[in-house]
Structure 1
Amino acid sequence: MKLASRIFFAYLLVSVICFSYPVSRFVRDVRMFFLESVEDALADHATLLANTVGTQMEANRFNAEDLYLAFDKTYSRPLAAQIYHFTKTGVDLRVYIADTSGKIIFDSQSRANIGADYSKWRDVYRTLDGKYGTRSTRKNPNDSTSSVLYVAAPILVHGKTAGVLTVAKPTTSINAFMEKEKPRILKLWYVSTGLAILLSFLVSLWLTHPIKRLTRYANDVRDGKRAGLPPMGRSELRDMGLALENMREALEGKKYVEQYVHTLTHEIKSPLSAIRGAAELLDEQMPAEKRSRFLSNIRTEANRIQDLVDRMLKLSELEAQKTLQNVEEVQLNSLINSVLESKGPILSCKGLRVTCEMDRDVVVQGDPFLLHQAISNIIQNSIDFSHCGGTIGISARIDEGMLLLGVEDEGPGIPDYCRDKVFDRFFSQPRPDTGKKSTGLGLNFVREVAVLHGGGIRLENLCGKGLHAVMTLPM
């Protein structure tokens, strides 16, 4: 499982658990709160009615029929009380009175209960014992919503307990309220859970995004792409990224120095041998014409070494860049015309013709100097391998947001054995007309420029004869 998925599910699990427990506890606590409120009111009613009945008994004025008449009128009276979201349509309060033996002497809901023995009920026997008497009893043992609350108070006559008065109220109103509130509570829970899922997703993205950028950077380095360390903010990931960057630079620096010294030594060995051989021959007596030719060879080889060193310096400077330093809008048409103008004498000398097929308004973002050098190297390569009187074709087209700059010549193309080496440093093929090799850094320089711009370079043999070089650049 990916790290982002682990973070997402872990955060989601914690959030759901943290939401579920408070919501379920809240539902239970709300119900308990309403039961406590109802019991508190019933205790007040029971005490008030018990004192009223006790006062009447002390004055010998207690009459159960008067109570029945009052309750009958109360039960039959229409009621439409809007209590918040609940509509109360009738009085469901029950009152019964038991004597000191627990026998019922009054029941507001049923005269048939008179004489019934309630001495075993908790509300009655605890009150007769001088304790707080209350109970909750289901009308239907299998139905939790049929509970009825009973709260009792002692009837005192001349300071002595003369009986028990109990006030009872069913929990139907509480159940109705809870049924109406439960969807609202569940809706709140669903919304909270949905927000938890969204926040879990966003948090997982936020935590793993720097890791993905660092992984992408490591993959780019592995693939040989020119990549800079992405911004990491101030965190442990930034420290890890800097450590990776430092390690990469150290490894690349060591490898680069080894390759640089090896290849430079190999390439300089040949012109140095020629210079040394010519210098040894100059110690001998020889005609002036021959001496002049040896001196010319020494200057030629010295210039070759100088050119090699200059190109190596430019290439090493280019390879040290992780990103473009100078980015401008470059008019491709003007850039190519400038390159061709600089190559004019060489093209005229070999009698080469150049054709161009491109739009005038093609614009790319890049370093004008580096692009000029890269295109110049590609065209120079085509000139070197073209036969006298041949044609060089230059084209440009846009495909899926990428500029494809093509240069075609009518030269011999690339032999199969060196297809994988043409972009290697110091690799060069003999020119058809002179048999000489170049420094072997031109195409390597072109590839570095293209990669630095986010593009690439490829060489393809044409059907028949010739080479097609294609440099891709992002628009």
Structure 2
Amino acid sequence: MKLGIRILLGYFLIVGLAGVFIQRVFLGEVKPAVRQAMEDTLVDTANILAELAADDMKQQRIADGNFANRVREYAHRKVDAKIWGLHKTSLDYRIYVTDVRGIVLFDSTGRALGQDYSRRNDVYLTLHGGYGVRSTRDVDSDERTTVMHVAAPIKDGERLIGVLTVAKPNSTLQPAIVQSERTILRWGALLLALSLAVGLGVTLWISRSLGALQRYARAVTAGQRVQPPQQGASEIVELGQALESMRQKLEGKQYVEQYIHSLTHEMKSPLAAIQGAAELLDEELPEMQRRRFANNIRKQSQRLAELIEKMLALAAIEHRQALENAAPLALAELVEEVVNLLEPRLQQATLTVQLSVSQPLPQMYGEVFLLRQALVNLLENAIEFSPPQGRIGIALEYTTGGAITVSVTDQGPGIPDYALGRVFERFYSLPRPGGKDKSSGLGLCFVQQAVQLHHGDVQLRNRPGGGAEALLTLPVNIV
């Protein structure tokens, strides 16, 4: 299972458990809180009514006095109230009064007159100086029929003369409780969905950052030029930069070791030739041989200088991860400049260049120095393999994919099959026609590195009609 999915599942599990726990706590508190509020209201109501009933109780006319009449009128009042979205159409208080023995003297419903309520908690506790309250079911098997009773003492001065109880069914609170529970569940579900969305967003963000780092590591393993992730979690960006720094140090060490090995190997042959010729020059030699050995030293020294120069240029470009001095340029003009630069060599080899541009080319974005040197290397390669009186073709074309192709063709012997897969290897060089010395084997490698920095492609292949073709594909805009 991917790390991003694990993070998402873990986050969702934690948020889900927390949401369920919080909802249970809230739902568990709703019913007690509502009943507590009702009980508090009943306490106030009972004590007010006890004061209002005191005069009739003193005069022993609680059953038919002014208080009883007002309570009976209350029971027949019509009400139409909207309370926090709930519609109330009935009055639900039941009020009854007992004497000091617990006998019911007045009942607003008329069903308990004359009954002994002295053992009911609301009356019993109040008669004994306590807080009288009870909650009793009208139907023993149905919790929804519970009724809350709150009593208050009726006094004549300091003397207890009776008890007034206000009762209200708990079922009248059920709509408010249900509404509160629905509201809590609805908002809880919304918060859970929002938490999931936030978790999904954070997970995708982290996964994208880790994916960028993973792609960077794979590209580095494959030897590609890539930059470490620049966006995402700061820790991921820092990790990418640390990996890039480590890669550069490791590659730099390995690169130096490889180059020292390659350079010493390639320098052995010309140094041996120079050393042998120099030793012979110490002896008495005919003028003709002396000149030949001196010329040999000069040619081998030039070969060494060329080798070192091209190795330095290749080393500089191989360590670059991106273009440094890129700017808009006209590729057709750059090709013409390269042809004019190599005109003396073309004349010396009795070669002609045929340049064709299929259509007006757009400006491209690139580094002039690298592209110029790459084109020089390709044209020099074509010159070395072309026969006298031959023709070198250079064709430029703008493709529909937003790239410019540069084709350099010659009329030489072509590339042997065994060498097709190795022409871009460092220090790999083929014999030149006419017994010419091999090149340093670094020119085509430089071309490949320069083109890759421009996010392009280079191919070297044989032409059906003979000769070889080098094909460069360079995107106009570098992404």
- TM-score normalised by the shorter chain: which range applies? 0.7 to 0.9
CA distance in 2, matches of 1:132, 1:228: 79
How far 1:284 sits from its partner (Å)?
A: 4.6
Structure 2 equivalent of residue 149 of structure 1: 148
- Is the aligned partner of 1:89 residue 2:89? yes
Residue 277 of structure 2 corresponds to which residue in structure 1?
278
Residue number in structure 2 paired with 1:7: 7
| 1:256 aligned counterpart, secondary structure | helix
1:190 and 2:189 correspond: yes
Q: What is the alpha-carbon distance in structure 2 between the residues aligned to residue 442 and residue 141 of structure 1? A: 101
Offset of residue 370 of structure 1: 0.7
Where structure 2 has 5 or more consecutive residues not aligned to the other structure, the ranges are: none
- Segment of structure 1 superposing worse, 285-294 or 230-239: 230-239
1:394 pairs with 2:395: yes
- What residue number does 1:305 align with? 304
Indicate the larger mover: 14-23 or 213-222. 14-23
Relative to 1, partners in 2 of residues 1:139 and 1:394: Cα closer, same or farther, differing over 3 Å? farther
Tell whether the 8 Å contact from 2:361 to 2:398 is kept in structure 1 after alignment. no
Instruction: Tell me by how many angstroms 1:79 deviates.
Output: 1.6
1:151-300 paired onto structure 2 within 5 Å? 151-157=150-156, 159-231=158-230, 237=236, 240-300=239-299
Moved more, 456-465 or 326-335: 456-465
Q: Aligned residue for 1:135?
A: 134
In structure 2, C-alpha distance between the alignment counterparts of 1:191 and 1:403, rounded to whole Å: 55
The 1:292/1:171 distance shift into structure 2, 3 A limit, reads same
CA distance in 2, matches of 1:401, 1:100: 104
Instruction: Report the alpha carbon displacement of residue 217 of structure 1 after superposing the two structures with TM.
Output: 2.7
Retained in 2: the 8 A contact 1:395–1:407?
A: no
Q: Using the TM superposition, name which of 365-374 and 169-178 deviates more.
A: 169-178
Q: Which residue of 1 aligns with 2:420?
A: 419
How many percent identity over aligned positions? 38
Residue by residue over 1:164-197, the C-alpha shift from the partner in whole angstroms, topping out at 9 and shown as x without a partner, is 3211112344322333344443332233223212
Q: Secondary structure at the match of 2:186?
A: helix
- CA offsets per residue over residues 308-354 of structure 1, 9 Å max, x none? 11111111122232332211112112122212222333344343442
- 2:323 & 2:433 partners in 1: Cα distance? 36
Report if aligned partners of 1:329, 1:363 keep a CA contact under 8 Å in 2. yes
Corresponding residue SS for 2:111: helix
Task: Give the match for residue 368 of structure 1.
Answer: 368
Which has the higher mean CA deviation after the structures are superposed, 11-20 or 123-132?
11-20
| 1:157/1:208 CA distance change after superposition, 3 Å | same
Q: Could you tell me which amino acid in structure 1 is paired with residue 178 of structure 2?
A: E
Structure 1 residue 402, shift from structure 2 partner: 4.6
- For 2:432, the equivalent position in structure 1 comes to 431
Give me the TM-score of the superposition, normalised by structure 2.
0.87
Relative distance call for 1:400 and 1:68 in structure 2 (3 A) is farther
Deviations 1:29-58 (A, max 9, x none): 344333222211211221222233333222
CA contact 2:30–2:181 (8 Å) conserved in 1 = no
1:454 is matched with 455
Mean Cα deviation higher: 295-304 or 200-209: 200-209
Contact 1:353 1:390 in 2 (8 A): yes
Query: Distance between the aligned counterparts of 1:384 and 1:139, measured in 2?
Result: 113
CA distance in 2, matches of 1:89, 1:134: 27
Q: 1: distance between equivalents of 2:197 and 2:279?
A: 83
Tell me if the contact between 2:394 and 2:406 (Cα under 8 Å) persists in the aligned partners. Answer: no
Gaps of 5+ in 1: none
Question: Shift of residue 357 of structure 1?
Answer: 3.8
After TM superposition, give the deviation of residue 87 of structure 1 in Å. Answer: 2.9
Task: Please tell me the residue identity of whatever aligns with 1:74.
Answer: Y
* TM-aligned CA deviation for residue 360 of structure 1: 2.5
Structure 1's 44 and 305: CA in aligned 2 closer, same or farther, altered over 3 A? same
TM-fit CA distance, 1:441 = 0.4
1:37-56 residue pairs with structure 2 within 5 A? 37-56=37-56
Distance 1:140 1:341 in 2: 111
Residue of structure 1 equivalent to 2:382: 382
- Matching of residue 79 in structure 1 with residue 94 in structure 2: no
Structure 2 CA distance, aligned partners of 1:468 and 1:117? 119
Q: Residue 34 of structure 2 corresponds to which residue in structure 1?
A: 34
Kindly provide the amino acid, as one letter, of the partner of residue 406 in structure 1.
S
Q: Distance in 2 between matches of 1:19 and 1:372?
A: 66
Query: Matched residues in 1 for 2:459 and 2:115: separation?
Result: 107
Give aligned pairs, total: 474
Deviates more, 1:302-311 or 1:315-324: 315-324
What is the SS of the residue equivalent to 1:324? coil
Counterpart Cα distance in 2 of 1:305 and 1:193: 73
Q: State the secondary structure of the residue aligned to 1:113.
A: coil
After TM superposition, give the deviation of residue 452 of structure 1 in Å.
2.3
Distance change (3 Å), C-alpha of 1:148 and 1:249: same
Report the Cα offset of residue 143 of structure 1. Answer: 5.3
Match in the other structure for 1:354: 354
For 2:369, the aligned partner's letter is F
